[in-house]
Structure 1
Amino acid sequence: MSQDSRAQFAAQNRSALDWLSFFLADVKDGVGPFLAIYLTSTLKWDSGSAGLVLTIAGLASVLGRGPAGAFVDAIRWKRALIAIGAGAVALGSVAMAISPGFWTVAIAQVLIGLAEAVLPLTLTAISLGIVGQRGFPRRVGRNEAWSHSGNVVTAILAGAAGYFIAQVAMLWTVAIVSVIAACAVYWIDGRAIDHDLARGEDKPGQAPEALGVLLSNRPLLWFTAAITLFHFANAAMLPLAGQKLSVGQPDESPLFMSSCVVVAQLVMVPMALLVGRKANEWGRKPLFLVAFAVLPLRGLLFALADNPWAIVAIQILDGIGAGIFGALFYIVIADFTRGTGRFNVTQGVAAACWGLGAAMSNAVAGQIVNGFGFSAAFFFLAACALGAFAIFALAVPESLGYEAEGPEAQVLAVT
C-alpha cells in the first residue's frame, strides 16, 4: 500500500484510535491502586495479603503476554480480541464488588491480569497496522496522551464514587468503562488494518524471522533487563503510597489516591505528546534516560513524606517518568524488530519480563512494609530504580536508526 493510502487510512481512523485509547485507559491498566485501598481500608486486609492478590494479577499477565503477542501476530480479528479483554475486566470488577472474598478476588485478578496481557499489545498492533512505521512514533504518542486523559477522568469518577457513595463503587466505575471500551473498538474500520504491517513486516509477502534471531540482539536483551528492574522498582510505589495515606484516615484515602492518579496522568499527557513529536528528532535514549532518572528520586521522596498532599505532589515525577516510558517502550521495540515480523511477540515477551518485575514488586514491598515499615520499602525500591538507570545508561544504545543485518547478528546502523 502506498504512503498516501496509508496516511488516508490513518486520518480516517485517528479519532477512533483516540477514543479507544481514552476508554481503554483504566481497562488495560487494571484497578491496582484503588483495589489496594479498598482491600486494606474497607475490608481490613493486611499489606501482605493485598500485595499477594495484586501479584496474582501480575503473574497472570506475565504468563499471558508472550503467548498473547504471538497470538496477536497470527490473528486478523484484533478488534474482537480487544472487546473480549475489556469484557473480562468488567466481569472481574463486578465479581470483586459483589463477593470480595480472597478466592473471588484472586480469580478476578487472574481474569484482569490476562486482559492486561492482551489489550496493550493489540491496541499497539492495530495502530502500527494502520499508520505504518513512519507514522508510528506520533501515533503512539497520541495513544498514550488520550490514554492518560482517560485515566484522569476515570480516576476522578472512581475517587468521587468511593468517597461519596462507597469504596466498592470504584470497582463498578471500572466495570462500566470497560463495557464502553468493548464497544468503542468497533469505531475502527477493520479494512484499514494491514495485519502484515501490524506484526513488524515492512515488505509484502515477507516471512517472519526465526525467534532465535531476537535472542542474538544484545541491545534488546539489555533493554529488557533495564525495564524489568525499572518496573520492579516502580510498580509498588503508588499502591504503597495509597496504603500509607489510608493509615488513620481511611475515609479520605480514595480522594487522596484519586488526586495522586490525576496529578500523574495530567503530567503524562504532555510527556507522551512530546515523545511522539520529538523521538525522531532528539533520539530515543535521551528521553528515556529522563524517565529512568526520576524514579529513584520519587522513591526517596515517598520515604520521607508524611503529609498527604506532599505525596500527591510527588506524583508529578511519576507523570514525567511514566509518560515518557509508556510511549517510548513501543517505539523502541518497533525499532529493534523492524522487518522481522515479530513485533508483537517481542513486545509481549519484553512486557512479560517487566510484568514479572512489577508482580514481584508488590509482594516483596508488602512484606518489607509488614516487617520494617513504609520508609524501608521506599528506600529499597529507590535503590532498585537506581540500578535500572545504570543498566540503561551503560548498556542500551540509541535505537533510532537500528537495523538488523543478517540472521546471526544485530548491529546499529551507522547514520
Structure 2
Amino acid sequence: MAAEVAAPDKEASEPSPRSASRRSLRSLDGLNFLMADVRDGLGPFLSVFLKSSQHWDSGSIGIVMAASGLAAAVFQIPAGMLVDSVHAKRLLVALSGLLVAAACMVIAWFPRLAAVFGAQIVLGAASAIIPPSLAALSLGIVGHRLMPARIARNESFNHAGNFTAAVLAGGLGQFVGVHWLFYLVCGFAMASALVVLLIDPRAVDHELARGGETLRTASGAHRPVPLAELWRDRRLRVFLMTVVLFHFGNAAMLPLAGQLIAQTHPGMDVIALSACVIAAQLVMMAVAAVVGRAMKAGVGRKTIFLVALAILPVRGLLFCLTTNPYGIVGIQLLDGVAAGIFGVVAVVITSDLMRGTGRFNVAQGLMALCVGIGAALSNVMGGLVAARFGFVAAYLSLSAIAVLAFALFACCMSETGREDTISTDALANDAG
C-alpha cells in the first residue's frame, strides 16, 4: 500500500519550516483558539434556551438536538474528501465560520421547529468541515516532520478557547441571559473567518496537506490512493476500531455522573458539571503541551495512546465509588488527561498512516465518524444499563469496554511514527 512505501528523501519531499510565514503560524494559533467554540456550535446550551426561554417540549428539543449530530455524521467522509480535493482550504474555514454565525442568528431570531431544525443541520455540516480543514492547513504549512508538535500546539490553543468560551458562556447565561450565548458563538465564528485570511496561501503545500509526499514545485502531484485500498491497511482498521471502543467506553461517563449528582444532590448538578468541563479543559491544555514534548523526545505514539486507554477504565471504576460532587469533579480530571492525549495523538497517528496516500482528510472523516458511532453506542447502552441495573453496573460495563479497547490496541497495533517525524528542538520551535 502507498502508505507503507518508503518515502522520498525528507529534505526533497517537504518544505523547510523556516519558509512558512510566522504570521501564518500565529494565525493558526488564533484560529484554533477561536474555532474551539465555533466547531461545537451551541451544544447543550441550545436545549437550555429552548426549554427555559421558548418553553419547548422535550420531544421537539430532542429532535433538533439529534439533527446536528446526524448531519455531522453524514457529512464526515464527504467533508474529508472535499478538503483533500480543493486548494481553497482557507475559504472552507471562513465559509464554515460564517455559516455557523448565520445558523446561530436564525435560531436566536426564529426559534421555531422548522427553522431551528434546518439551522442545526447547517451547524452539523460546518462542524464536519472545520476539524479536517484545520489539520490540513497545519500539515500543509509545517509538513510531516513537524506535524506532532503543531497538532499539540493546536490542541493547547483549542482547549484554551474551550475554557474561555465556557467561562464566558457561564457568565453570560447567569447574569445577562441565555440568548446572549448565540451572539457569543456568532462573534467567535466571524472572528475566525477573518483570522484564517491572515494565513499566507503560499505557505500551504496542498499536496502535503492531503497527506502526500510531493512538493508543490514538483513536476506533478501523485494521484491519491483509491479509497478501497485504504481499508487494506490492517493498522488503520485496528486504529478505527480502537477509536470506536474508546468513545464507547468514554462518552456516557460524564452524562451519567450528571444524572447521579442530580439524583443524590439536587441543585448541584449544573454547577458541578460546569466545574467538570472547566477543570477538564485546563488539564487538556497542559496535557496537549506535554504530549507534544514527549513525541519530540522520541516517545512512541503507541505508548502515549496506551496511557489514555489505560486511564479510561480506572476513571469508570472510581466513578463507582462516590456520589460526592467534589469527588466526581476530581475524577473528571482524569478525562482531561485521556481526552488531551486523544486529541493530539489520534490526529498524528492518522497523519502517519495516511502519509503518501493523499487521503489524510478522508481518514480524519472516518475517525470522526467512528467517534460518533462510539459515542452513540455509549449513551444508548449506558442509559439502558443505568435505568435497569443502576449506575454502578453502567460504569462497570463502560469500564469493561475500555479494557477491551486497551487490549486491542496493545496487542494488534504497531508503532506508526517514523524516524524523520521526530523533530529537533529547533524544528519544533519553528512549528510553533
- The TM-score bracket by the shorter chain reads 0.7 to 0.9
8 Å CA contact retained: 1:89, 1:178: yes
Q: Does 1:134 align with 2:145?
A: yes
8 Å CA contact retained: 1:83, 1:183: yes
Q: Does 1:200 align with 2:216?
A: no
Identify if the C-alpha distance between structure 1 residues 249 and 10 changes in structure 2 by more than 3 Å, giving closer, same or farther. farther
Matched ranges for 1:228-377 at <5 A: 228-245=244-261, 253-280=269-296, 281-368=298-385, 374-377=391-394
Alpha-carbon deviations, 1:333-354, whole Å to 9, x = none? 1111111111111221222122
TM (norm. structure 1) is 0.86
User: C-alpha distance in 2, partners of 1:140/1:44?
Assistant: 40
Cα drift, residue 29 of structure 1 = 3.2
User: C-alpha distance in 1, partners of 2:113/2:322?
Assistant: 31
Q: Does 1:69 align with 2:85?
A: no
Give the share of equivalent positions with the same residue, in percent.
44
Question: Gapped runs of 5+ residues in structure 1?
Answer: 404-415
Identify if the C-alpha distance between structure 1 residues 381 and 134 changes in structure 2 by more than 3 Å, giving closer, same or farther. same
Cα drift, residue 214 of structure 1 = 1.0
Cα drift, residue 366 of structure 1 = 4.3
Cα drift, residue 251 of structure 1 = 6.8
1:164 to 155, 166, 175: 175
Cα drift, residue 66 of structure 1 = 0.7
8 Å CA contact retained: 2:291, 2:304: yes
User: C-alpha distance in 1, partners of 2:155/2:273?
Assistant: 21
Structure 1 residues 115-124 or 92-101, which shifts more? 92-101
The letter for the 2-side match of 1:139 is R
2:414 matched to which residue of 1?
397
Cα drift, residue 151 of structure 1 = 0.6
8 Å CA contact retained: 2:245, 2:404: yes
The letter for the 2-side match of 1:308 is P
Task: Give the secondary structure class of the aligned counterpart of 2:20.
Answer: helix
The letter for the 2-side match of 1:22 is F
Cα drift, residue 143 of structure 1 = 0.3
8 Å CA contact retained: 1:87, 1:179: yes
1:212 to 206, 209, 228: 228
The letter for the 2-side match of 1:160 is G
Cα drift, residue 52 of structure 1 = 6.2
Cα drift, residue 244 of structure 1 = 4.5
8 Å CA contact retained: 1:33, 1:242: no
Cα drift, residue 319 of structure 1 = 0.8
User: C-alpha distance in 2, partners of 1:37/1:367?
Assistant: 24
Identify if the C-alpha distance between structure 1 residues 176 and 248 changes in structure 2 by more than 3 Å, giving closer, same or farther. farther
Cα drift, residue 303 of structure 1 = 4.4
Structure 1 residues 111-120 or 166-175, which shifts more? 166-175
Q: CA RMSD in A?
A: 3.0
The letter for the 2-side match of 1:187 is L
8 Å CA contact retained: 1:72, 1:121: yes
User: C-alpha distance in 1, partners of 2:232/2:362?
Assistant: 16
1:383 matched to which residue of 2?
400
Alpha-carbon deviations, 1:118-151, whole Å to 9, x = none? 1000000000000111111101110000000001
User: C-alpha distance in 2, partners of 1:323/1:300?
Assistant: 20
How many pairs are equivalent? 402
Task: Give the secondary structure class of the aligned counterpart of 2:415.
Answer: coil
Matched ranges for 1:55-134 at <5 A: 55-98=66-109, 105-134=116-145
User: C-alpha distance in 1, partners of 2:415/2:52?
Assistant: 45
Cα drift, residue 295 of structure 1 = 1.6
The letter for the 2-side match of 1:196 is E
Alpha-carbon deviations, 1:147-193, whole Å to 9, x = none? 00001100111112222233444444333322222222112112211
Alpha-carbon deviations, 1:65-116, whole Å to 9, x = none? 1111111011111111112222333334344445556655544332222122
User: C-alpha distance in 1, partners of 2:361/2:228?
Assistant: 15
1:184 to 181, 185, 195: 195
Task: Give the secondary structure class of the aligned counterpart of 1:32.
Answer: coil
Q: Does 1:227 align with 2:243?
A: yes
The letter for the 2-side match of 1:231 is H
Identify if the C-alpha distance between structure 1 residues 319 and 347 changes in structure 2 by more than 3 Å, giving closer, same or farther. same
Structure number with bigger Rg:
2
8 Å CA contact retained: 1:37, 1:246: no
Cα drift, residue 302 of structure 1 = 3.4
Task: Give the secondary structure class of the aligned counterpart of 1:200.
Answer: coil
Structure 1 residues 189-198 or 235-244, which shifts more? 235-244
The letter for the 1-side match of 2:418 is G
User: C-alpha distance in 1, partners of 2:20/2:207?
Assistant: 15
1:411 matched to which residue of 2?
none
Cα drift, residue 9 of structure 1 = 0.8
8 Å CA contact retained: 1:235, 1:362: yes
Cα drift, residue 13 of structure 1 = 1.7
Alpha-carbon deviations, 1:203-247, whole Å to 9, x = none? 242222222221110011010000012122222333444455556
8 Å CA contact retained: 2:159, 2:281: yes
The letter for the 1-side match of 2:222 is Q
